[in-house]
Amino acid sequence: MSRQSLSELVQNDPVTVCAHAIADTLGVLPHFPVGAWKDQVCTWDQVSGTWGDMRRNDGIQSVIADPATAGNDIRDRGAYIDALHNKADMFVTSDKHLGGSGPADRLEKRFGLRVCSPSDLVSELGL
């Protein structure tokens, strides 16, 4: 679970509370910064990588923003970068700007990290 995703689960609606309970059972991925410091969802001691990694991450996130239609935000792109750097098997998102078939296919071809929706994951797991 990325720190980006965890930061979105602080709301108190029932769905988010359930999602946070699931997230609490998972480990937290190392956070690789992207964007300005004000865009980060962690403290300095929780940051992974180097300044060179951060420059590379900014390049990756601009590529992610390009194939995805306008509407995804830097936290969505940051979560994808965290998953990419941590060699995740797949990136699960409800963001249609990243998880729609067109952007998802392009991102997988470019970076090798599969993007799928939560419902696709549930179907795939047979739940």
Is the torsion defined by CA of 84, 90, 94, 100 positive or negative? positive
List, as own/partner pairs, every contact residues 88-91 make where C-beta atoms lie below 8 angstroms and the sequence separation is at least 24, other chains included: 88/29, 88/113, 89/114, 90/114, 90/115, 90/116, 90/121, 91/115, 91/116
Residue-level pLDDT at 53? 77
Tokens read off for 119: 């419902």
Q: Model pTM greater than 0.85?
A: no
pLDDT of 5 reads: 72
Beta strands in the chain (DSSP E): 90-92, 114-116
Query: DSSP code of 70?
Result: B
pLDDT at 12: 64
Residue pointed to by tokens 């699960």:
92
pLDDT confidence of residue 112: 93
Angle, helices 51-65 vs 101-111, to 10°: value is: 140
Q: What is the pLDDT along the chain (127 residues), one digit of tens a residue?
A: 677 777 766 666 666 667 767 777 777 777 777 766 777 777 777 777 777 777 787 788 777 776 555 566 777 888 888 889 889 888 888 777 787 778 888 889 999 999 988 778 778 777 6
The Cα 58–Cα 35 span in angstroms is 6
Supply the pLDDT for residue 68. 53
- The structural domains of the chain, with segments of one domain joined by +, span 3-125
Give pLDDT, residue 111.
Answer: 92
